[in-house]
Amino acid sequence: MRKMKKDVNTEKYGLVYEIHPEGPSDAKLVEIADLRIDNGGQDNILIEGENLDALNILKNDYSGRIDVICIDPPYNTGMNWLTYQDHEYMDNHDSYSHSKWLSFMNNRMKMAYSLLSENGVLFVNIDENEIGTLLLLCHQIFGEGNVDVLIWPKTDPKFDMNRKEKPIRDIKIVHEYIFVCFKNRETTKLNKILIPVQKDGEYIDAFSTVETILTGLGTTSSAKDEMEKMLGDRSKFQTPKPMRLFKELIRAASKQTSIVLDFFAGSGTTGHAVMDLNRDDNGERQFILINNKDNNICRQITYERIKKAINDEQYLASLKYFRTAY
C-alpha cells in the first residue's frame, strides 16, 4: 500500500507522446476577389491553406469570439485512397503514428480552445482509430468534466438506399463518435438536440430530445447523396458528413448571431448547415471554413459546394475566399 501510494505520487496519468514541432509561419491572408460571392446576408469566410497557419492568423481578430467549432479531422485510418491525406500520420509499421497524429491535433485543438468564447462548444468527430487518444487530449485541454461523448450511427437502412460499401471486418462498424467539448460546462446551456422519431419503422416529423445516440440525422451514405446533388458525383469526396447532423449540433450550441468555425472543412457541410439554419430561424450566424490545398479540395469541392448551395437555395449569404500566402 505504501509502495502504491509512492507510485501514484510519482507516476502521471495521461498521454505520453512525442511533440513534432510545426514551425512558426509568417503566413498572411490574401483575398481572391474573383471568387467572391455576393448574395446579401452575412460575409462568410473560406480560407484555402494549412489550418494551423490560418488559425494563427484568426487569433488576432477572433480570440474568444467563436461560439461553435465543428471539426471532422482525418481519422488516422491508414486509408490511402481518400481525396485528402488521412494516412500522413499513420503507417502500420510506424510506431510513432499515434504520436504524430496527437501532436498534430494538440497544436490545433489548443488554438481552437483559445478561439472559443466563454460559453463556446467544440464538436469533434472521431472513429475507433483515435478515440482513446483524442479523448485524453480533450480532457487535457478542456478539463475532464467539460467533455461528453455522443454516438453517431453512420449507417441506417432508411437512409442508405445507395450504400454499396462492403464490410471490411468481421465486426461491421456502424457508428462513430462525436465529442462535445465545453469551454465552461457550468455556464453553458445547450439548446436541446432534437432527433426525428420513428413510428412503424419510418421517421416521422416529430422530434425527441437525444440521449447519447444521434439517430435519424443522416448517414455517410446519405451525405454522399448530398454530394451527388451538389457536385454531380457521389464519390467526389469520400468522407462527407450529413448536413442535417451538423445543422442540429450547430443549432444546439449557437445563438442566432454566433460565429461558427470548421478548420477541416472538406466538402463544406458546416457552411451549408449554417446557411440552412439561418434560413430556418432568420439567424445571422457567420461561418469560417478552412481547408488546405491538397488535391484542390478547397477550390473545387468546398467552394463549389457553397457556391451551388447559395445559387440553388437562394440563401441570403455572401462569401470571401482567402488563401494563405507566405
Nearest distance in Å: CB 187, ligand SAM: 28
- Cα 156 to Cα 245: distance, rounded to the nearest angstrom: 14
CA atoms within 13 A on the CB side of 301: 29
Q: How far does CA 295 lie from the centroid of its chain?
A: 19
Tell which one of 89, 264, 287, 321 touches ligand SAM (CB under 6 A). 264
- Cα 149 to Cα 135: distance, rounded to the nearest angstrom: 9
228 lines the binding site for ligand SAM (CB under 6 A): no
Segment lying near ligand SAM (by CB under 6 A), choices 13-21, 178-186, 214-222, 233-241:
233-241
The nearer residue to ligand SAM, 49 or 216, going by C-beta atoms, is 49
324 lines the binding site for ligand SAM (CB under 6 A): no
Q: Is 259 helix (H, G, I), strand (E, B) or coil?
A: strand
67 lines the binding site for ligand SAM (CB under 6 A): no
216 lines the binding site for ligand SAM (CB under 6 A): no
Q: 251 vs 93, 210, 277, CA distance in Å?
A: 42, 13, 7
Nearest distance in Å: CB 152, ligand SAM: 12
Nearest distance in Å: CB 137, ligand SAM: 16
The nearer residue to ligand SAM, 18 or 22, going by C-beta atoms, is 22
Residue-wise over 129-168: b if at least 16 C-beta within 10 A, else e? bbeebbbbbbbebbeeebbeebebbbbbeebbeebeeeee
Tell which one of 41, 120, 196, 266 touches ligand SAM (CB under 6 A). 266
The nearer residue to ligand SAM, 182 or 263, going by C-beta atoms, is 263
User: By CB neighbour count within 10 A (0-12 exposed, 13-18 middle, 19+ buried), where does 235 fall?
Assistant: exposed
239 lines the binding site for ligand SAM (CB under 6 A): yes
User: By CB neighbour count within 10 A (0-12 exposed, 13-18 middle, 19+ buried), where does 278 fall?
Assistant: buried
- Cα 26 to Cα 145: distance, rounded to the nearest angstrom: 36
Residue 123: name the closest of 209, 76, 63, 181 by CA: 181
- Cα 49 to Cα 210: distance, rounded to the nearest angstrom: 36
The nearer residue to ligand SAM, 138 or 301, going by C-beta atoms, is 301
233 lines the binding site for ligand SAM (CB under 6 A): no
Residue 289: name the closest of 307, 263, 308, 309 by CA: 263
Q: How far does CA 178 lie from the centroid of its chain?
A: 9
Tell which one of 241, 247, 251, 323 touches ligand SAM (CB under 6 A). 241
146 lines the binding site for ligand SAM (CB under 6 A): no
- Cα 224 to Cα 222: distance, rounded to the nearest angstrom: 5
Tell which one of 219, 258, 269, 324 touches ligand SAM (CB under 6 A). 269
The nearer residue to ligand SAM, 285 or 305, going by C-beta atoms, is 305
Over the window 122 to 141, marking each residue x when it contacts ligand SAM by CB under 6 A and - when it does not, the resulting string is --------------------
Segment lying near ligand SAM (by CB under 6 A), choices 7-15, 37-45, 58-66, 266-274:
266-274
97 lines the binding site for ligand SAM (CB under 6 A): no
50 lines the binding site for ligand SAM (CB under 6 A): yes
Four-residue CA torsion sign, 22, 126, 232, 235: positive
Site residues (CB under 6 A) for ligand SAM, limited to 277-316: 290-292, 294, 297
Residues that bind ligand SAM (CB under 6 A): 50-51, 72, 74, 84, 237, 239-241, 264, 266-267, 269, 290-292, 294, 297
